[in-house]
Amino acid sequence: MKEKRLGRGLSSLIPQKKSFDEKAQSAVSTNASTVSKNSVTEEKNFETSALVRDVLIQDIQVNPRQPRKYFRDEALEDLVASIKEHGVIQPLVARRVGIHYELIAGERRLRACKKLGLTNVPVIVRSSTDQEQLEIALIENLQREDLDPIEEALAYQRLQKEFSLSHEELAQKAGKNRSTVTNMLRLLKLPNSVQKLVSEKQLSMGHARALLASSDPNKQTRLAQRSIAEDLSVRQIENLVKNEIANPNRKSKKTQSTSDLDVFLRNFQENLQRQLGTKVQIKPKTHEKGEITISYFSRSELQGFFDKLRN
């Protein structure tokens, strides 16, 4: 079986900015009839070269092999605002599949254009295989600035599996240092719950890498949660991991006193609920700090709380 290898990178698969800007200008000024789907000449053209066309959004289908599954609303709104003011500066990339176009790159731009209610978008139409389509989509995603570390790691992993690449080859294709690629891929050894914290930016890359010194998923999860709750530094996490490795059977001072603290807080919560006559919730954040949430269901009830607290 012939080994699959990655091509020469995104620049070799998509026309450079100068060339597609010129083609985009030409496409916009061309009468719509010249891009008729029934044109035999056109069919031959797009099989041999990349063309820029003004395409109906309703004729574009998303890429089923799109490696990116999540699109942040905030980043999308920024793109919507940019397109509203400046238009679509960079065309989408798609290939012809039957009477439709299948998106290769530019799903965020497509989503933003749909939100703006646009009917047409500039599209670079090129002939590509499924392998080339996946290659372009993966590399384009890796070159984005808003990828979270886990998304980036998953893209590296998929490139590695699909094209049998070494870490050095991955780094060259993505324009990154080999150590960066290696460290990203190591994040995927963490439990899914910890990876989720990294994706949600609750846990930094530095904290996550420190947790990798432990090989116990349960300890990694517990220390990740503790890091967030107590706002621990990377150095503190490193020390905690070292201590746990050196003394695996030793419980920390916090762990030893947790049950006593829970009993105290539970009793205090119940007493406060009785005195105020409403639901009270106590959420400990550290051994010394936490939050108290008091629920009220009317303004008169809220006023009653103030009166009780004053007295």
Instruction: Find the largest Cα–Cα distance for the chain.
Output: 88
Residue 67 above 80 pLDDT? no
More confident: 280 or 167: 167
The three-state DSSP-derived secondary structure of 202-218 is: CCCHHHHHHHCCCCCHH
Checking 71-75 for CB contacts under 8 A at 24+ apart, the result is: 71/107, 71/108, 71/111, 72/146, 75/108, 75/146
Q: Render pLDDT for 262-276 as a digit per residue (tens, 0 to 9).
A: 677 777 888 887 777
Q: Tens of pLDDT along 129-169?
A: 766 776 777 777 676 656 788 988 988 898 888 888 899 98
Residue 304 confidence (pLDDT): 80
Q: What is the pTM of this model?
A: 0.52
* pLDDT on residue 49: 47
For residue 15, pLDDT over 60 is answered with no
- Cβ–Cβ contacts within 10 Å for residue 45, how many? 14
Question: Tell me: the pLDDT tens digits for 157-216?
Answer: 988 888 888 999 888 887 889 999 999 999 999 999 999 999 988 999 999 999 999 999
Task: State the helix-helix crossing angle for 73-86 and 107-115, rounded to 10 degrees.
Answer: 70
Predicted local confidence at residue 97, as pLDDT: 87
Answer for the pair 57, 121: CB distance below 8 angstroms, yes or no: yes
Q: How far is the first Cα of the chain from the last one, in angstroms, to the nearest whole number?
A: 83
Q: Which amino acid is at 67?
A: P
Task: Based on the residue annotation, tell me whether 291 is a catalytic residue of this protein.
Answer: no
pLDDT in tens, 289-308: 788 888 777 777 778 877 77
Percent of the chain with pLDDT over 70: 71
For position 269, what pLDDT does the model report? 80
Q: Which amino acid is at 245?
A: I
- Model pLDDT for residues 213-247, shown as the tens digit of each residue: 999 999 999 999 988 888 889 999 999 998 888 77
The pLDDT of residue 258: 44
- Residue 153 neighbours by CB under 8 Å, 6+ apart: 184, 185, 187, 188
For residue 290 the two structure tokens come to 């936490």
Ordered structural domains, the chain, with CATH = 10-130 (3.90.1530.10), 202-246 (no CATH), 257-310 (no CATH)
pLDDT-derived band at 121, boundaries 50, 70, 90: very high
Reported as type and span, the H/E element at residue 286 is none
Q: Looking at the predicted structure, is the pLDDT value of residue 42 above 50?
A: no
For the segment 47-67, the average pLDDT, to the nearest whole number, is 76
pLDDT at 77: 86
Residue 172 burial (CB count, 10 A): 15
Q: Which of 102, 107, 140, 151 is catalytic?
A: 107
**Tens of pLDDT along 68-82?**
666 666 778 888 999
Q: In the chain, which residue ranges form alpha helices assigned H by DSSP? A: 10-13, 17-29, 40-48, 73-86, 107-115, 130-142, 149-163, 167-174, 178-186, 192-199, 205-211, 217-230, 234-246, 253-276, 299-310
User: What's the confidence (pLDDT) of residue 144?
Assistant: 64
